[in-house]
Amino acid sequence: MSDRESTRQLAQNQAELTEYYQRRKDLYDRMVTESGDQGDKKRVIDWYQEWATLYDKQFENAGFEYPILMAEKVDQLVEDNQSKILDICAGTGKVGLQLRTYGYTHLDALDGSASMLELAKKKDIYQKYFHCMIGPGKIKDIDDSSYDVVCCGAGLIVGHLPLNTIPTMLRAVKPGGYLIFTHQVWSTGFDSHSDEKLDSIIHGLREKDVCSSIDFKEGTYRPGEIMRMYVLHRGPGTVE
């Protein structure tokens, strides 16, 4: 590729990325203004349905790092690469692809967008695909205590999953297994995703021995944006 072609390609990438972020900002603004900081599930799904075909390219251009960091954390915690892993908010398979590089193959995907899951299927990453939204209570078609690890990258943010889905995700984890999720710092400015609310939920899980221990560290979600990655170790308690 010539220097001129490279410059043209970079300009196109930047233009696409600028459009992507503007549309994403518009989506969040409408969700917060019209629906409160919990957001509107249908609006979110419609947005991903529309942008699924461009998502992968724009994701790469934005330099998102959390899939790499999540896969590294799984590899640090789980020695057996035959372990069963559920990827919640799997999208087109960014976390799943990184897990495959470490030899994990027993991967299942869950996402609210059918279009995103169709793109993931073309990459042959996962064994099962669950097209559904999650909320308080049992996840549709998924048995309690059926996975060694459940991951949720970039899902617990304003307009997407509320924090009260953390117990829901833990239901699917076997005692002794792990729930790993990211929490973007910018979301903590909303009551629905505040640090105080997250701390309260985790404290309640620890009191009931659903979560036996917790660890978290800060990392880079994408350049210029900080996240915290949490690891909850599943205890023997029962999720109500």
Query: For all residues of the chain together, what is the average pLDDT?
Result: 85
pLDDT on residue 36: 45
Strands 147-152 and 85-88: parallel
Burial (0-12, 13-18, 19+ Cβ within 10 Å), 81: middle
pTM greater than the 0.85 cutoff: no
Q: Which helix (H) or strand (E) holds 195?
A: helix 195-207
Which of 114, 161, 117, 116 minimizes the C-alpha distance to 139? 161
**Number of separate helices (H) and strands (E) present in the chain:** 7, 7
Round to whole Å and give the CA distance between 216 and 81. 23
Q: Is residue 102 within 8 Å of 75, Cβ to Cβ?
A: yes
- For residue 158, name the pLDDT band (cuts at 50, 70, 90): confident
Token look-up 């998502």 returns: 55
Q: Please give the pLDDT value at position 27.
A: 55
Amino acid at 44: V
Q: 172-220, pLDDT tens digit by residue? A: 999 999 999 999 887 888 888 899 999 999 999 999 999 999 998 999 8
- Provide the β-strand partners of residue 182: 229
Q: Which of 54-63, 124-133, 137-146 has the lowest mean pLDDT?
A: 54-63
Contact 136, 108 (CB under 8 A): no
Predicted confidence (pLDDT) at residue 32 exceeds the cutoff of 60 = no
Among residues 189, 184, 175, the alpha carbon closest in space to that of 232 is found at 175
